[in-house]
Amino acid sequence: MSDQQKRISELVQKRADAALGGGQKRIDAQHSKGKLTARERIALLLDEGSFEEYDMFMRHRCTNFGMEKTSFDGDGVVTGQGTIEGRLVYVFAQDFTVSGGSLSETQAAKICKVMDMAVRNGAPCIGLNDSGGARIQEGVCALAGYGEIFQRNILASGVIPQISGIFGPCAGGAVYSPALTDFTIMVKDISYMFLTGPAVVKSVTGETVTQEELGGAQVHSSKSGVAHFKADSEQEAISTIRRLISFLPSSNRESAPTLDCADPAGRVDDSLNDIIPDNPNKSYDMYKVIGSIVDNGEFLEVHRGWARNIIVGFARMNGRSVGIVANQPSVLAGVLDINASRKAGRFVRFCDAFNIPLVTLVDVPGFLCGTQQEYGGIITNGAKLLYAYGEATVPKVTVTLRKSYGGAHIVMSCKQLRGDINYAWPTANIAVMGADGAVEILYGKDLKEIVDPAERSAAFQAKKDEYNDLFCNPYNAAAYGYIDDVIEPRNTRFRVCRALESLADKKVSAPSRKHDNLPL
């Protein structure tokens, strides 16, 4: 064998050794927990054969606590680039078989390198996290590594899409970096996110809590809103990431890819002409409206399990990516509360940052009132959504289906917040409030003075009819030009597609400033 051939076989052997991470025993342990390895995850995520790995042979330089004896090629993270449906992405996957995927100075340098490349080359960065946080033996050097990553997360925010898959028990810094990214995906029974685990919680606060209760996928996808997606398996989580990428541009310099659309933009749906119940207090399912108007009924919902009174997610209309924001009348009557405002506000800002037009479907009785909401800061939190819509310069098409009352009417992409095209169905009621509340406030005292109950009820009804005739329709708003057109529900897809077509080259400039000061 020539020297060159020897060196080539040595390379092949070194690569094979490095690919084993912390060794076969630890890989088996990972599998026995029902978990995939970092490399298996990358193989599922990227198009076959597209992965190009960097820094496979990097090692840590720590000698504290005998660490020189536990040094592995790659140092607990696999990094590189590849493609998803032929489009470039950068990826890092932490390898739990090496020191529990904990973050060393070296690991941080590897992650930062792919983050920098992603920003420079205008491609999404996807992190597959499985890590016990800062590597304890490296002390402040590990913390500094997190600082470097966080700073890059912040600078990349709004420049390239950043997506975090959570594939293990992530603690400390391992949860703050995902929190700075755009989307977080967790897996049932496999992912946990917490500042620190149950043992430390017990010693600090005395609280006894399981990993699942503290930071499982269910908790973060339904109670805290930390996770945007929950999957039943790692495979499902990874296919969700691939699907999500398909709706997004590679960076803020581009538009999202437009796909050929077999679903005709002019398709009408007669069932929408019958969807609004006669009784205004009855609900219907907004998912039916979304499914009817978007291409092939395909909708990737974000935050499906959290703040379900508002629906947000990605779809396509005539092949173009859109962000859908829709009140859900069948959950809490579609009211806007703190969580709904936070959920939709963040989504609107993401879409605006990445040139994704917004389609807003409105049926909202107002903001939720009461001490619980006031003490939680509904004023500041509601203002987040208001701010997000007012700030957004992407094409904004709004359809008011039924109720659009008070502050919630303004917030939900009204004309004055630079809504580009605002349609209403004939069933729309656009007013300061519903008829019952309005009559009570305006005439309550007078009505109380009518002694005969039948006479009082008739007088109440007469005032309600007067109010409804004046305000509870779309024509009053249309008379002021606040609604551009009243449309037949069956034509909604066609009208929205045409509106988006006309707005494709929209340009808006803003006054210069260092940055905004949104109500955090």
**95 neighbors 38 (Cβ within 8 angstroms):** yes
Contacting residue, 90, 92, 146, 460, with ligand HXC by CB under 6 A: 146
DSSP per residue, 103-114: B-HHHHHHHHHH
Q: 396-405 and 429-431: which strand pairing?
A: parallel
Quick check: 287 binds ligand HXC (CB under 6 A)? no
Nearer to ligand HXC, 180 or 447 (CB): 180
Q: Which of 212, 222, 217 is nearest to 236 (CA)?
A: 217
Selected catalytic residue, list 74, 101, 145, 173: 173
- Exposed / middle / buried, residue 448 (Cβ in 10 Å: 0-12, 13-18, 19+): exposed
Nearer to ligand HXC, 166 or 411 (CB): 166
Q: Which stretch binds ligand HXC (CB under 6 A): 128-136, 293-301, 317-325, 386-394?
A: 128-136
- Exposed / middle / buried, residue 172 (Cβ in 10 Å: 0-12, 13-18, 19+): buried
Contacting residue, 112, 136, 180, 201, with ligand HXC by CB under 6 A: 136
Nearer to ligand HXC, 25 or 506 (CB): 25
CA–CA separation, 351 and 357 (whole Å)? 7
Selected catalytic residue, list 231, 408, 477, 499: 408
Quick check: 366 binds ligand HXC (CB under 6 A)? no
Quick check: 169 binds ligand HXC (CB under 6 A)? yes
Quick check: 100 binds ligand HXC (CB under 6 A)? yes
Q: Nearest-5° angle of CA 150, CA 156, CA 157? A: 90
CA distances from 496 to 41, 200, 290, 394 (A): 39, 53, 12, 15
Binding mask 188-207 for ligand HXC (x = CB under 6 A): --------xx----------
Q: Which residues pair with 299 in a beta bridge?
A: 315
The one-letter code for the residue type at 54 is Y
CB of 345 to ligand HXC, least distance (A): 24
At residue 184, the 3 state secondary structure works out as: strand
CA–CA separation, 403 and 65 (whole Å)? 65
Residue 407 annotated in active site: yes
Contacting residue, 74, 76, 80, 133, with ligand HXC by CB under 6 A: 133
Nearer to ligand HXC, 168 or 419 (CB): 168
Q: Which of 235, 190, 240, 239 is nearest to 32 (CA)?
A: 190
CB of 222 to ligand HXC, least distance (A): 22
Contacting residue, 77, 126, 134, 394, with ligand HXC by CB under 6 A: 134
Selected catalytic residue, list 145, 172, 216, 406: 172
Nearer to ligand HXC, 134 or 248 (CB): 134
- Exposed / middle / buried, residue 208 (Cβ in 10 Å: 0-12, 13-18, 19+): exposed
Nearer to ligand HXC, 190 or 248 (CB): 190
Quick check: 132 binds ligand HXC (CB under 6 A)? yes
CA–CA separation, 407 and 35 (whole Å)? 47
Nearer to ligand HXC, 79 or 97 (CB): 97
Residue 172 annotated in active site: yes
Alpha helix positions (H), 284-433? 286-293, 338-353, 371-375, 378-391, 406-411
Quick check: 135 binds ligand HXC (CB under 6 A)? yes
Q: Which stretch binds ligand HXC (CB under 6 A): 96-104, 183-191, 414-422, 448-456?
A: 96-104
CB of 101 to ligand HXC, least distance (A): 7
Quick check: 173 binds ligand HXC (CB under 6 A)? yes
CB of 147 to ligand HXC, least distance (A): 8
CB of 231 to ligand HXC, least distance (A): 20
Site for ligand HXC in 102-121 (CB under 6 A): 102
Place of tokens 């989504």: 347
Residue 76 annotated in active site: no
Nearer to ligand HXC, 179 or 432 (CB): 179
CB of 210 to ligand HXC, least distance (A): 12
**173 neighbors 103 (Cβ within 8 angstroms):** yes
Selected catalytic residue, list 29, 407, 437, 459: 407
Q: Which stretch binds ligand HXC (CB under 6 A): 97-105, 269-277, 468-476, 492-500?
A: 97-105
Q: Which of 394, 407, 396, 387 is nearest to 359 (CA)?
A: 396
CA–CA separation, 476 and 313 (whole Å)? 31
Residues in the chain: 520
Contacting residue, 117, 143, 300, 518, with ligand HXC by CB under 6 A: 143
Angle formed by the axes of helices 105-121 and 140-156, nearest 10°: 10
Q: Which of 350, 368, 390, 282 is nearest to 124 (CA)?
A: 350
Residue 370 annotated in active site: no
Tell me how far the alpha carbon of residue 461 is from its chain's centroid. 44
CB of 70 to ligand HXC, least distance (A): 7
Residue nearest to ligand HXC (CB): 172
CA neighbours closer than 13 Å in the CB half-sphere of residue 187: 25
- Please work out the total of residues on this chain that contact ligand HXC, with binding judged by CB under 6 A: 17
- Residues in contact with ligand HXC by the rule CB under 6 A: 99-100, 102, 132-136, 143, 146, 169, 171-173, 176, 196-197
Catalytic annotation, residues: 172-173, 407-408
